[in-house]
Structure 1
Amino acid sequence: MKQQTRRVCQLLGSFNAVVVCFVFSIFSLPVFNLQAESIVERFSPPSGFQRITHVKTSFANYLQNFPLKPKSSSVSLYDGRIKTNQIHAAVLDFPLLREDLIQCADAVIKLRAEYFYSLKQYDKIQFKISNGMEVPFSKFIAGDRVQVNGNKTKWKKGNFKKGTGREVFEEYLRFIYIYAGTISLKSELRKKQTENLVPGDVWIEAGSPGHVVMVVDQAKGKEGQTLFLLAQSYMPSQEMHILKSDSPYSPWFEIPNHQWFQTPEWRFPAKEFYGF
């Protein structure tokens, strides 16, 4: 859950920023452990339910087959501390930065970006930042960077690294983490009905603070009942994790049938359901 005010201030503040060019050491490149147990391998649907499968190249399938850290893993914060509120059933196996950057919206953005990056569909990696500017990865590939000046942003050419390599990709993501959040993410999504739920959809409440949780798996019952797994990051920056539920099918959630949808650390308006 990003402290949106901090990010907006970075865009709307009175300071005059120089070219946003990040020269940083990468804590850990997200080369995912292909030998790790995946979501579909660890979580079988409850009795009477069957997992819904999706096209192999889809975002839904990418999430369902995402690798997990070993069983009994705790959720760690960006600085190595263990999260106090351990309300998870599993921890996703992707690394954090050693900075308080990858929070709830950032983790969703990261998964979406990593999916397209894995397919080499670089032109589809594009996100808005808090002032509404569209920031495509293709511009970073070409060697352009964003200059921030108060509440204004513009593209800047210079002697910046080009290409599709991980270093440029990580630099792009880091910029997005700093200047995006639940408000900018929600503006990119389309409203959905829960009966059309698929992995990759989210419940999102935009604000300062706001929060977002993502569907990462789904199953159907013989009577048409839908169950799903939810994943989140949170504040401060922490490993993304699959949440436990209050449902008798926990960690599987049931479609909410009331005005509110309660998750372990956030209560969403049930209608605030969106997809890419």
Structure 2
Amino acid sequence: MNCISGGKALATNRDTAIRFLVEAALQSVAAKKHVCAPSTREEWIDKLCVEIMSESETSHRSVIAALMATGVSSEDVFQIYVPAAARRIGELWVLDKVTFVQVTIGASRLQALFHDESQSPQGKWLDRTVPLGQSILMILPETEDHTLGAFVAADQFRRHGLWVRMAIRLKPLEVVRAIEEGSFSMLGMSLASRKSVQHAEELIRFLRTTLDVCPPIVIGGKYVLDADDIEERTGADFAVKSVREAISRCKLATVNETLAMDSMSE
């Protein structure tokens, strides 16, 4: 009997200890989630960057879902937070704080996010290319390795109702042929590094000497933000810090402006 009683006591103590450990673990997880919950835009961007480059295939989407649960709209997520995360990843790469593998994973997932969003009903509604009749050619020279910035900019142009064609790693003559075959209101280039500037300068000079009529050439990207006299150095018409600035300086019509004019005429 004593052995039986002793066994029951041991089992009871063991169950109590296990329950205590489980409760402690759950409290620890809850506390960690509470502490790690982002409270500012910058913290949300940092968290999104971490998860986009993580081993998990879906954790970055969970971050976006949690962000939208706080009241942030889908439009703000894809126009503010995701582009900011892309820039942050680029900065971390330049500072040698992330690996090439992490950057590649992050870039791939960011492009997938933009592709998925462009296929959504809202994304398709925003892509009003026929009524506006204006188009843009985003040029990524064959020597350019950083493509994410151009895809981010293209997505934002589309959200303004502009049709965007991507010229990815084409040779200079192929770029000329694409421009001659199209009817573009603007040529865009995203410059991510000093090397990009040199190649952009060469390509812009080639375009201006080869084309009979050259649309306005606009450059943007991280290197543009940090460089002085970049327009003069590259031969571009405008160096801009945002898609909205590019639209304004090239005097392009947008969906919002067209809808506003329609409402005023009613």
Structure number with the higher strand fraction is 1
TM score, norm. by length of structure 1: 0.26
Q: Which has the greater radius of gyration?
A: 2
Q: Which structure is richer in relative contact order (CA contacts within 8 A, separation 6 or more)?
A: 1
